[in-house]
């Protein structure tokens, strides 16, 4: 029979490999050519419109079943538009509760403070698979909505984010000209300190193409705080990297739209590649953008990746918070 022919079996194998390679290559080309379009900016005209929009956002969140009650978006307001406002974006797998102690410190300095919820986060089940459904487009919409609300909260607006929130901050820096200051705190462009740009792109494509895997099934977070998920979704990580590389690629020819940028890194951080962040800054500077301020926590401090959430084990907020306040808000009055 033909099926017993070694030559035929070999030919069929080659044909199958070629078909699979063509499928994967086509998918990669399609993903590479799919640009992330920015939604239309619609900044709130005043304080009343900003708080009305925030109420709409929170009303939608409260319709979500099985929500963790500490994870709703938060707004600390002085009851009027202030000279300064700040948006604090949490990291993926966490929620606005990450800023439960830091947000009030900005409030005490005269800021109106908005702490938005990232899409697909904040559910009560720490083993949820919700992160497999997150997309780069949703992250962009979250950024844009937050900035639109923030514009009605303060004359001077800062957008700050940690980890994936820092990646979102990078997008805001690149795209939103109406933000006065953007702060990237340990931005996440890849999955590890040891993974560079080329390998990260390959991992991104694999995560986007292959079936999703929940990392808590392989290696759950140990000692995770109650409002934090126990792991990531590989599909969600691929979307995070897609957002990050959209900024990295745009920075090759375009300087940031934001008025100024602050980049805060942690030399002891094993979860992010600070080298990619440095390359992003180099691209910005090469395009004539000089308003970049940097601060790095030395490796000798042995800080963990999440330097914000006071509930994390081995946290050093008593050391970190005063520095963050001085770097982000040096001219604010206590």
pLDDT digits (tens, 9 = 90+) for 160-209: 999 999 999 999 999 999 999 999 999 999 998 989 999 999 999 999 99
Q: Which helix (H) or strand (E) holds 160?
A: strand 154-162
Q: Evaluate whether 293 touches 264 at the Cβ level (below 8 Å).
A: no
Q: Is the pLDDT of residue 231 over 50?
A: yes
Number of domains in the chain: 2
- Asked whether residue 211 is domain-assigned, the answer is yes
- On whether both 5 and 86 belong to a single domain, the answer is no
- On whether both 241 and 137 belong to a single domain, the answer is yes
- On whether both 51 and 3 belong to a single domain, the answer is no
Distance CA 272, CA 269 (A): 6
- On whether both 92 and 237 belong to a single domain, the answer is yes
- Asked whether residue 334 is domain-assigned, the answer is no
CATH number reported for the structural domain that contains residue 103 in this entry: 3.40.50.1820
pLDDT top residue among 36 and 236: 236
- On whether both 102 and 234 belong to a single domain, the answer is yes
Instruction: Compute the mean pLDDT over every residue in the chain, rounded to the nearest whole number.
Output: 90
- On whether both 100 and 170 belong to a single domain, the answer is yes
- Asked whether residue 69 is domain-assigned, the answer is yes
- On whether both 25 and 139 belong to a single domain, the answer is no
In three-state form (DSSP H/G/I as H, E/B as E, the rest C), the secondary structure along 215-271 is HHHCCCCCCCCCCCCCCCEHHHHHHHHHHHHHHHHHCCCCCCCCCCEEEEEECCCCC
- On whether both 60 and 30 belong to a single domain, the answer is no
- Asked whether residue 153 is domain-assigned, the answer is yes
Q: End-to-end alpha-carbon separation of the chain, Å? A: 86
- Angstrom CA distances, 287 to 244, 281, 283, 284, stand at 18, 10, 6, 5
- On whether both 94 and 172 belong to a single domain, the answer is yes
In 3-state terms, the chain is what percent helix, strand and coil (to 5)?
Answer: 45, 15, 40
Structure tokens at 44: 């709130």
Tell me the backbone φ, ψ of residue 2, rounded to 5 degrees: -60, -35
- Asked whether residue 49 is domain-assigned, the answer is yes
- Asked whether residue 333 is domain-assigned, the answer is no
pLDDT score at 221: 75
Distance CA 210, CA 66 (A): 28
pLDDT tens figures, 63-113:
988 999 999 999 999 999 999 999 999 999 999 999 999 999 999 999 999
pTM of the complete model? 0.89
- On whether both 150 and 233 belong to a single domain, the answer is yes
pLDDT score at 6: 59
String of DSSP letters for 64-119? STTB-TT-S-EEE--SS-EEEEEEEE--TT--GGGGTTHHHHHHHTTEEEEEPPPT
Distance CA 180, CA 170 (A): 13
- On whether both 22 and 96 belong to a single domain, the answer is no
- Asked whether residue 274 is domain-assigned, the answer is yes
- On whether both 83 and 224 belong to a single domain, the answer is yes
Q: Is 167 exposed, middle or buried (0-12, 13-18, 19+ CB in 10 A)?
A: buried
Domain that holds residue 113: 39-328
Q: Please, what sign has the CA dihedral across residues 148, 149, 152, 158?
A: negative
- Asked whether residue 106 is domain-assigned, the answer is yes
Q: Is the pLDDT of residue 333 over 70?
A: no
How much is the average pLDDT of 231-260? 97
């Amino acid at each position: 029979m033909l099926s017993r022919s070694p030559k035929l079996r070999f030919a069929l194998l080659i044909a199958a490999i070629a078909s699979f390679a063509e499928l994967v290559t086509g998918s990669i080309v399609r993903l590479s050519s799919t640009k992330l379009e920015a939604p239309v900016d619609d900044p709130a005209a005043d304080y009343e419109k900003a708080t009305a929009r925030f109420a709409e956002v929170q009303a939608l969140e409260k319709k979500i079943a099985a929500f963790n009650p500490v994870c709703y978006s938060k707004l600390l307001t002085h009851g009027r538009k202030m000279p300064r406002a700040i948006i604090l974006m949490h990291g993926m797998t966490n929620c606005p509760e990450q800023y439960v102690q830091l947000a009030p410190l900005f409030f005490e300095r005269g800021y109106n403070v908005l702490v938005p919820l990232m899409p697909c986060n904040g559910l009560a089940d720490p083993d949820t698979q919700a992160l497999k459904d997150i997309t780069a487009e949703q992250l962009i919409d979250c950024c844009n909505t937050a900035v639109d609300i923030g514009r009605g909260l303060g004359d001077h607006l800062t957008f700050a984010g940690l980890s994936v929130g820092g990646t979102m901050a990078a997008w805001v820096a690149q795209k939103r000209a109406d933000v006065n200051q953007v702060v990237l705190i340990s931005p996440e462009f890849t999955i590890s300190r040891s993974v560079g740009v080329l390998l990260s792109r390959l991992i991104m494509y694999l995560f986007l193409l292959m079936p999703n895997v929940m990392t808590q099934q392989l290696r759950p977070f140990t000692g995770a705080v109650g409002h934090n998920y126990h792991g990531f979704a590989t599909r969600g990580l691929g979307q995070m990297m897609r957002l990050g590389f959209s900024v990295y690629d745009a920075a090759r020819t375009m300087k940031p739209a934001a008025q100024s940028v602050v980049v805060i890194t942690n030399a002891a951080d094993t979860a992010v590649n600070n080298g990619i962040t440095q390359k992003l800054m180099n691209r910005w500077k090469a395009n004539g953008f000089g308003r970049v301020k940097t601060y790095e926590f030395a490796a000798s401090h042995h800080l963990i990746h999440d330097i914000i959430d006071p509930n994390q084990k081995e946290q050093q907020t008593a050391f970190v918070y005063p520095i963050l306040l001085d770097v982000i808000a040096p001219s604010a009055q206590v």
